[in-house]
Structure 1
Amino acid sequence: MSTPSIPRSVLVVGGGAAGNAATILLRRAGIAVDLIEAKDDWNATAGSGITLQGNALRVLRELGVWEQVERSGYGFDAVGITAPDGTVLHVSEDLRTGGDELPATVGMQRPRLQRILIDAVRAGGATVRLGVRAESLDQDDTGVSVRFSDGTEGRYDLVIAADGLGSATRAAIGVTDRPEPTGMAIWRVAAPRPTGLTRTDLAYGGPAYIAGYCPTGESTLYAYVVEANRDRTTIPAHSYADEMRSLAKHYGGHWPEITAHITDPAQVNYTWFDRMLVEGSWHRGRVVLVGDAAHCCPPTLAQGAAQSMEDAWVLSQMLSATDTWDDALFQAYYERRVARVRPVVEASVQIGQWQLDGARDADVPGLMGRTMTMLRELP
């Protein structure tokens, strides 16, 4: 006769890609999960678009939402390199890092992906509380007592910190790492998709380091231009559309049609590129970091969401495979993940640094190819 599993309870802090993925998978394993998210709207309207490589799609398939993602996004298998005037210089087939049965890449409207994950969290039976933060964590050998911003309290076997780049949970448990700017920044906007635009194209040169776009549906895309970062306090929000348009107007091909739609500053997003990799371990006691709370990198390889969701997948597998949740397990999670995350962070930063340095002999295709080949392996 098998010994019944010990009932377990987990608090997930943060309802982004990593937190939602962990919640879905842990609930499927029969673990009780409370999810708290500081934002009242559960990030349901934030962001313009997202590029999901095959290894991200592989996790989404594990979450049971691949068919919805496939219907809602736009899949493609190639990337083009163009001159600033729009002349196509090279088209390469992307590696299918999620396996041959999944596209190399799917572009999606970010709010649509979030809605799909929210619905899956709800369907899994987790307890969800929005507009709530964890104000204090009091640990002992058997669990974590948490006091919440709404005055309530809870007791959990484990807390998963999925609260992003500025993770308050990371700071609360004494991890001092913070995101550091790489020197670049990106302007992003959603726009209608021009006829004939069926893949990502990247233009190097001109007034920006990169000007690119990604189809996100039958009639939509998101476009972006990358420049040296500037003091955000000197850029008034009402000028965001003007700022992005002033860069984008120098690019040809599909860009004139895209640029004509960059008119509403409220729809334009401006963020710096950051890097971080927490070293040594991603836990303190029974609080474990996942996703951007543990690592972040520039989007030069489009691996941010993929690596975050892989964290959640791996940790959930390890938690559901044993009743012994201890330092050895959490350290094994870190060692398994850091071996994969580190080369992604380093390659993403290196690609940007080569551009900042104006390196003419940089082997960007080689570095990208080696990294993506590694990502084809299961995490």
Structure 2
Amino acid sequence: MTDSLSRSVLVIGGGTAGNAATILLRRAGVAVDLVEAKPDWNVAAGSGITLQGNALRILRELGVWEKVKASGFAFGSLGVTAPDGTVLFVAEDIRTGGPDLPATLGMQRPRLQRILIDAVRASGAALRLGTTAESLAQDVDGVSVRFSDGTEGRYDLVIAADGLNSATRAAIGIPDRPEPTGMAIWRIAAPRPDGMERTDLTYGGPAYIAGYCPTSEDTIYAYVVEGCRDRASIPTESYADEMRGLAQGYGGFWPEIVKHIDDPAAVNYTWFDRHLVEGPWHRGRVVLIGDAAHCCPPTLAQGAAMSLEDASVLTELLTTRGDWDDQLLTDFRSRRLPRVRMVVDASVQLGQWMLDGVRDADVPGLIGRTMTALKERP
């Protein structure tokens, strides 16, 4: 252990990346303040999430794996079906977290957030909800921060985990911004039909992709992927009608799922984005992690995993090196960039093949190569 015990960190953003970094740093004895803009800490946001083994490995590192396992639905295969529901083939998932963890686990996203929130609270971190960092003033020794509640703080390091549209990223002069890929996704949580034991994907039909994932013994989340439309042209009160119109063109479990697509407030519509900061991920003593630094479409279900890995790798460096300097933060990016770029590029490529109508694309090969590479520890 280094003198990191005497240092302080501000984490901006209480999502997956920020919560994970807070938990790990506090476990190492680092003083951490966590500020989150949403007063409710996003406890109700999202329908479901698919977590591959490499994400589960970090959740075990955080000490929350047993709660995650009890709350989610683990499985080890992926089915591909025709639009009418006929199962075309079933492939065994690659165990990217090692042989002692499931290949995949689905769970309700709000439940995962609550588990992480409980771990943050138990860590002893200082928390402020409904609060943002309004200004950052750096010098060679640290960062002085003024907050939206009128208070100020002084930190050895600021970790910006404030998401895809990170205000901190813009404030420190990093110009990279997310770009739409041309696809959008409709999502909803629903009861789990009897007999649904894994994720199934359908390519083609009324949408590019239709799929579902069990998230507990009783629940699933279902989704359909189409081309981007102007969000302003879709009234929110029509969201259920829009998703139901696409989903009812599929067979298998879909007729049962469609029965529950009736509340527009329960349907989420989001564009797919590609984002990867190509230059340094830090300016001085402010460093980006998670979606603030990179984001990809969910075609490989690796977004949360990449954010969790960021938190783990950065904490490892901060707690094993004596100097929290430019070289440490440069090494953090250098270690993460090849792996993150591989995931971002593969996730975007899978969608682009569909947009371009490529019928002979090596989808299984690309997925297999990527997931095999992810078996290596970050």
Calculate the TM-score normalised by the size of structure 2.
0.99
2:231 maps to 1:228:
no
Which residue of the partner structure matches residue 170 of structure 2?
171
**Amino acid of the residue matched to residue 120 of structure 1?**
A
| C-alpha separation in 2, matches of 1:23 and 1:4 | 18
CA contact (8 A) 1:28 1:124 kept: yes
Q: Which runs of 5+ in 2 are unaligned?
A: none
Q: Which runs of 5+ in 1 are unaligned?
A: none
Per-residue CA distance 1:115-160 (angstroms, 9 max, x = gap):
0000000000000100000000000000000000000000000000
Deviation (angstroms), 1:373: 0.5
Which residue of the partner structure matches residue 72 of structure 1?
71
Matches within 5 A, 1:14-163: 14-163=13-162
Which residue of the partner structure matches residue 202 of structure 1?
201
Which residue of the partner structure matches residue 329 of structure 2?
330
| C-alpha separation in 2, matches of 1:312 and 1:3 | 18
Q: Secondary structure at the match of 2:39?
A: coil
| C-alpha separation in 1, matches of 2:4 and 2:304 | 32
Per-residue CA distance 1:166-200 (angstroms, 9 max, x = gap):
00000000000000000000000000000000000
Deviation (angstroms), 1:6: 5.8
| C-alpha separation in 1, matches of 2:100 and 2:280 | 34
**Amino acid of the residue matched to residue 44 of structure 1?**
V
CA contact (8 A) 2:4 2:318 kept: no
Which residue of the partner structure matches residue 339 of structure 1?
338
Which residue of the partner structure matches residue 272 of structure 2?
273
Which residue of the partner structure matches residue 262 of structure 1?
261
Range with greater deviation from structure 2 (315-324 or 89-98) = 315-324
**Amino acid of the residue matched to residue 270 of structure 1?**
Y
CA contact (8 A) 1:158 1:287 kept: yes
Which residue of the partner structure matches residue 297 of structure 2?
298
Structure 1 consecutive aligned stretches of length 4 or more whose deviation exceeds 2 Å: 2-6
Q: Secondary structure at the match of 1:203?
A: strand
Deviation (angstroms), 1:341: 0.3
| C-alpha separation in 1, matches of 2:113 and 2:2 | 38
- Classify 1:93/1:5 alpha carbon distance in 2 versus 1 (closer, same or farther; 3 Å): closer
CA contact (8 A) 1:6 1:323 kept: no
**Amino acid of the residue matched to residue 252 of structure 1?**
G
Per-residue CA distance 1:57-89 (angstroms, 9 max, x = gap):
000000000000000000000000000000000
Per-residue CA distance 1:10-46 (angstroms, 9 max, x = gap):
0000000000000000000000000000000001000
CA contact (8 A) 1:65 1:116 kept: yes
Which residue of the partner structure matches residue 365 of structure 1?
364
| C-alpha separation in 2, matches of 1:278 and 1:5 | 27
Matches within 5 A, 1:341-356: 341-356=340-355
CA contact (8 A) 1:185 1:228 kept: yes
Q: Secondary structure at the match of 1:281?
A: coil
Q: Secondary structure at the match of 2:6?
A: coil
CA contact (8 A) 2:5 2:31 kept: no
CA contact (8 A) 1:187 1:226 kept: yes
| C-alpha separation in 2, matches of 1:372 and 1:175 | 30
CA contact (8 A) 2:3 2:322 kept: no
| C-alpha separation in 1, matches of 2:377 and 2:216 | 28
Deviation (angstroms), 1:207: 1.0
| C-alpha separation in 1, matches of 2:315 and 2:14 | 16
Deviation (angstroms), 1:5: 5.3
CA contact (8 A) 1:27 1:33 kept: yes
Deviation (angstroms), 1:322: 1.7
| C-alpha separation in 1, matches of 2:268 and 2:240 | 9
Deviation (angstroms), 1:3: 8.2
| C-alpha separation in 1, matches of 2:151 and 2:354 | 50
Q: Secondary structure at the match of 2:153?
A: strand
**Amino acid of the residue matched to residue 257 of structure 1?**
E
| C-alpha separation in 1, matches of 2:148 and 2:78 | 46
Deviation (angstroms), 1:4: 5.7
| C-alpha separation in 1, matches of 2:203 and 2:30 | 48
Which residue of the partner structure matches residue 185 of structure 2?
186
Deviation (angstroms), 1:361: 1.1
**Amino acid of the residue matched to residue 180 of structure 2?**
P
